[in-house]
A = this chain, B = another copy of it.
Amino acid sequence: MLCPVQARSSILERSRALNTNRAEAFSDGVFAIAATLLVLELKVPHVEPGGLADALLQRWPSYATYVVSFLTIGIIWVNHHAVMDRINYVNRPLLFLNLVFLMAVAAIPFPTALLADYLQAGHDERLASAVYGVTMSLMGIAFGLIWAYAVLSDDLLHDKIDPDRARRSLLIFTVGSPLYVLAIGVSLLSAELALVIYALLAFFYLFDVLPPLEVREGKHG
């Protein structure tokens, strides 16, 4: 529809490609909105004259969790596109897995607010940190399932991806999920230590662990 030259390819391919683009457009919307809604947790304090500086400083956990959650959602977005670039088309089961994944991403502002409020309150912060870990674990598991489903299918994986390298990438791509689950347990001992794990996991996902798109012999390129 965007480009009539596509009419040369089969109808099926065209329909499939469109599906992929739209799954990405909807996902991009959810990512952008979830990240931007985080600002609503930054509440304006209402204080007596001269009290604003103290009130703002006291709310440092709000700013810290804003930064961590915004960058985390941003990094997940980068990796989501890296996965989508390596998939030929999106079928109904994959769309549904993607919805479950986005449901966890869209929920991130809630545990973020919970963690900020209870770090500031100075009590129940370990439970709040565990709830954050549960949300991130669900996100990580759904994300791992998306990549595993694509790699293990017959035709979803992009032609330019070496299937063997794709299968080997599964281990490192999905290693985040058990670590997030581990962080839930750590949360119950120390919210601060769990926060360090969350930050390290976000840092780890800065790096691209997926196989590259490459020109292979005897194939389309």
A1 within 8 A of B: yes
Contact of A22 (CB < 8 Å), options: B24, B42, B207: B24
Q: Do residues A123 and B49 form an inter-chain contact, with CB atoms below 8 A?
A: yes
Q: Name the residue of chain B whose CB is nearest to the CB of A45.
A: B114
Q: Name the residue of chain B whose CB is nearest to the CB of A122.
A: B49
Within the assembled complex, what's the spacing in Å between the Cα atoms of A39 and B33?
Answer: 11
For residue A44, give the distance in angstroms from its CB to the closest CB of chain B: 5
Classify the secondary structure of A's interface with B.
helix
Q: How many copies does the complex hold?
A: 4
Report which A residues bind B (CB closer than 8 A).
Answer: 1-12, 15, 17-22, 24-26, 28-40, 42, 44, 46-47, 49-53, 56, 66-67, 70-71, 74-75, 77-78, 81, 85, 92, 95-96, 99-100, 102-103, 106-107, 109-110, 113-114, 117-118, 121, 123-124, 127-128, 131, 160, 206-208, 213-215, 220-221
Within the assembled complex, what's the spacing in Å between the Cα atoms of A36 and B105?
Answer: 9
Q: Do residues B1 and A3 form an inter-chain contact, with CB atoms below 8 A?
A: no
Contact of A37 (CB < 8 Å), options: B22, B39, B213: B39
Q: Do residues B42 and A107 form an inter-chain contact, with CB atoms below 8 A?
A: yes
Within the assembled complex, what's the spacing in Å between the Cα atoms of A95 and B81?
Answer: 12
Known: A74-B102, A103-B71, A215-B11. A39 touches B44 (CB 8 A): no
With A11-B214, A33-B33, A44-B110 already in contact, 19 other A-B pairs whose C-beta atoms are closer than 8 Å = A1-B17, A3-B3, A4-B5, A10-B215, A15-B213, A25-B28, A26-B32, A29-B31, A29-B36, A42-B107, A44-B114, A53-B124, A67-B103, A70-B99, A71-B100, A74-B99, A74-B102, A78-B99, A96-B206
